[in-house]
Structure 1
Amino acid sequence: MRNKSLDAAKAVAACLVVFIHVSFPGQVGQIIKVLARCAVPFFFMISGYFCYYEGKTAEDKIPSKILHILKLFFISLLFYLVWEYIMKFLSGEDTGEWLKELTDSSHLKEFALYNSTSVVRAHLWFLPALIYCYAVDFFVEKWKLRKAAYCCIPVLLAMLLWRAEFCRFFGGFYHTMEYRNFLFTGFGFYLTGQMIHEYQDKMYQCFVQKHTERHIKWLLIVGMAAGAALSILEYSFQNAREIYLGNCIAVICLFLWLVLYGKEKKISPILAEIGRKYAFLIYLLHPAVADVMKKISHHVGIDSSLCYLWLRPLLVYGITLGMIQGVFTLNMRLKNCSRR
């Protein structure tokens, strides 16, 4: 039976990604953004969770997943290449210079090594990073190195946090792309999701047999709250960062709670459907919707309105969802008509 709690959490995670890129105003908006930083790790964990296979079936299924994400990436890339050209043209920017940047060797190298897509749209880095995760996982499964890969999880997460946060205490510095890539931000969480899937039944049985289920449930809830509080505390000392230690603690505790106990909860079927069908597309398309809203709000003179600024992230999420759902509904009706 499919865990609808995970689907609902995907819908919420997509909303949190919108809140990162289209933030609420003031200090409250910054704190919401800090808490929302767990969304991308969650998406990597969910990808790893659903890419756990018994036996050798992974060798057959992972290539199809890679092909699916590859197609999605090229379509998204083409869309945003055209979109960015139009946006820059309308803004009076030098489109010729931007087109030259696209083929600059340094940008191509950053894309190949770090999955950086900043020259087009930064958020697209997730897709090539996920492709890399699937590709590495293919060889992990083929060579039966899963247990060894699991041992790398704490190393990868420690290196992520060192590069993203703790190195600054010792005068170090890494560019965002040097840790926001498939290896550090991606593969560690991907493997964590996969490992949770492999051992979820054993963990649940162990907790029930030892009568510690209730204590573990509350421990995970406390872990989520403590992770969120730690993230805010880290922000107060270090200002904005791509990820915090508290985010890692919160998202792992949340994921464990959803997997072990989420099936027991009554979940809104609408929210579960949004997560299952539309979360990924919301992630990909919301920046374009935000661009249009920015131009319209400026044109009508409400871009500085406090009321509008508070509503803007929610409107971007709602409009993006409505557009995607509308396209899905229209496509379904056209298919039904063609069958008659």
Structure 2
Amino acid sequence: MKKTRNSTLNALKGIACFSVIMLHCAFPGMVGKIIYGIARFAVPMFFAISGYYVYSCNSKDVIQRLPKKIEHIVLLFLETELIYSLWHCIQYSIQVGTIQGAKEWILSLLSTRNVLYFIVFQRTVIGDVSWFLVALIWCYIVTFAIAKKDIWTKTFPLIPILLLLNVFLGELAPFMGIKTEWYWCSNFWLLGFPCYALGYYIKINEEKMTRILTESTIITIIIISVLLNLIERVLTNASQLFVSNIPFMIVCFVYCIKFPTIFQNNKLVKAVSIIGEKCSFGVYILHPIIRDIFRMLAKYFGIAGQPIWNWILPILVFASSVCVNLLWCAGKEKIEFRKVNDNLKEMEKL
């Protein structure tokens, strides 16, 4: 039996792609500030989706699947770091006129401070978004241990504690005049694992949550969450996870589970769904490089800082990131088709 795709969830992933760009390349002024606040739901959502799909009622199935998932993400992380490293060299050579010495650069990456920050906070020197992959690897490793001991129910109480600690450090502490760093909140401990475990929890309680959260209730919570987010963003001026992002993310996720095909005939939503399905990871990884390229071009042509350019830049970054990923996917599919075709021809000869 062919499995039906959740086009609504894929569309939400497409929206989350654009939201991630809003976190690193926002619109100017109050509009950008407001969108930024709402957009903070995106990264927690990607963690929750990972937790949701790793779940199985049989712990042995989870344990068997995890090694391949860990291997897959590790390879993606290494590929991502290689891409960022190459871009680092190219960008440095363009800006300075020479390529930085490889030996000195590698030694600087392997400093005690950088290694310690990588282990504790999953902070990487190359690329400001690849911490997500490291945190996801840790999520899978911890899941392996939890599934083996079958102690998920004992782990779930940690979710609100860790998320509230995240909100305290990211939102309340700066409001109280306490200086905090972004990587104190954006790491495995306070964002990756609790949101990942939340996705796991939603999967276990899927039937109950989809029954209790009616369509009208979900819409009401979304509206209240957005209004609360506006208040939080304007009053606190914080730039990490907001209290309102958590219920917003949960009910949006449940809505997608409850109505997996509700918008599948809408052409616009279908296009966003394709972006979410095929490009979500690629956009997340490549958009910082594409953003930097456009910023360098804008500086070269003397339009950097122009009001109209600040509005156009996020749209250009998103559109270009999607196009690059669609072309990449099309190329991969073409290569795979040729391989299958060649294999069939070889079989015919036999």
Same fold (TM over 0.5): yes
The equivalent position to 2:84 in structure 1, one of 80, 84, 97, is 80
Q: CA deviation at 1:173?
A: 4.3
Distance in 2 (alpha carbons) for counterparts of 1:202 and 1:246: 22
Q: CA deviation at 1:323?
A: 1.1
- One-letter amino acid of the counterpart of residue 337, structure 2: N
- Aligned length in residues: 331
- One-letter amino acid of the counterpart of residue 49, structure 1: Y
Distance in 2 (alpha carbons) for counterparts of 1:124 and 1:25: 25
Deviation string for 1:115-138 (max 9, x for gaps)?
011x21111110000101111111
Q: CA deviation at 1:99?
A: 4.3
Aligned pair in 2 of structure 1 residues 333, 192: CA closer, same or farther (>3 Å)?
same
RMSD, aligned CA: 2.0
How do residues 14-29 of structure 1 correspond to structure 2 at under 5 angstroms?
Answer: 14-29=17-32
Aligned pair in 2 of structure 1 residues 289, 135: CA closer, same or farther (>3 Å)?
same
Distance in 2 (alpha carbons) for counterparts of 1:203 and 1:292: 44
So what's the TM-score if we normalise by structure 1? 0.91
Distance in 2 (alpha carbons) for counterparts of 1:224 and 1:273: 24
Distance in 2 (alpha carbons) for counterparts of 1:144 and 1:335: 39
SS in structure 2 at match of 1:278: helix
Q: CA deviation at 1:260?
A: 2.1
Partner of 2:238: 240
Deviation string for 1:151-188 (max 9, x for gaps)?
22111112211222223455544432222111111111
Partner of 1:121: 127
Distance in 2 (alpha carbons) for counterparts of 1:334 and 1:51: 29
Task: Compare 292-301 and 7-16 and name the one that shifted more.
Answer: 292-301
Q: CA deviation at 1:264?
A: 3.4
Task: Compare 158-167 and 280-289 and name the one that shifted more.
Answer: 158-167
Partner of 1:302: 303
Q: CA deviation at 1:313?
A: 0.7
SS in structure 2 at match of 1:50: helix
Aligned pair in 2 of structure 1 residues 196, 295: CA closer, same or farther (>3 Å)?
same
Aligned pair in 2 of structure 1 residues 57, 335: CA closer, same or farther (>3 Å)?
closer
Q: CA deviation at 1:305?
A: 3.2
The equivalent position to 1:50 in structure 2, one of 28, 53, 73, is 53
1:271 aligns with 2:272: yes
The equivalent position to 1:224 in structure 2, one of 211, 222, 227, is 222
Aligned pair in 2 of structure 1 residues 27, 269: CA closer, same or farther (>3 Å)?
closer
Distance in 2 (alpha carbons) for counterparts of 1:28 and 1:264: 30
Partner of 1:210: none
Distance in 1 (alpha carbons) for counterparts of 2:33 and 2:67: 39
Deviation string for 1:232-254 (max 9, x for gaps)?
21122211321211112211221
So what's the TM-score if we normalise by structure 2? 0.88
Aligned pair in 2 of structure 1 residues 334, 176: CA closer, same or farther (>3 Å)?
closer
- One-letter amino acid of the counterpart of residue 153, structure 2: K
Partner of 2:139: 133
Partner of 2:193: 187
- One-letter amino acid of the counterpart of residue 200, structure 1: E
SS in structure 2 at match of 1:165: helix
1:70 aligns with 2:77: no
Sequence identity (%): 29
Partner of 2:348: none
Distance in 2 (alpha carbons) for counterparts of 1:254 and 1:333: 35
How do residues 328-339 of structure 1 correspond to structure 2 at under 5 angstroms?
Answer: 328-337=329-338, 339=341
1:112 aligns with 2:119: yes
Q: CA deviation at 1:67?
A: 0.7
Distance in 1 (alpha carbons) for counterparts of 2:32 and 2:23: 9
- One-letter amino acid of the counterpart of residue 298, structure 2: S
Distance in 2 (alpha carbons) for counterparts of 1:160 and 1:141: 25
Deviation string for 1:218-274 (max 9, x for gaps)?
222121121122122112221132121111221122112222234434353332222
1:3 aligns with 2:2: no
Partner of 2:100: 95
Distance in 2 (alpha carbons) for counterparts of 1:76 and 1:36: 23
- One-letter amino acid of the counterpart of residue 264, structure 1: I
Distance in 1 (alpha carbons) for counterparts of 2:300 and 2:94: 13
- One-letter amino acid of the counterpart of residue 100, structure 2: T
Runs of 4+ in 1 over 6 A off after TM superposition: none
SS in structure 2 at match of 1:228: helix
Aligned pair in 2 of structure 1 residues 325, 199: CA closer, same or farther (>3 Å)?
same
SS in structure 1 at match of 2:186: coil
- One-letter amino acid of the counterpart of residue 82, structure 1: L
Distance in 1 (alpha carbons) for counterparts of 2:247 and 2:330: 39
Distance in 2 (alpha carbons) for counterparts of 1:7 and 1:319: 19
- One-letter amino acid of the counterpart of residue 87, structure 1: Q
Kept in 1, the 8 Å contact 2:66–2:140? The answer is: yes
Distance in 2 (alpha carbons) for counterparts of 1:248 and 1:129: 19
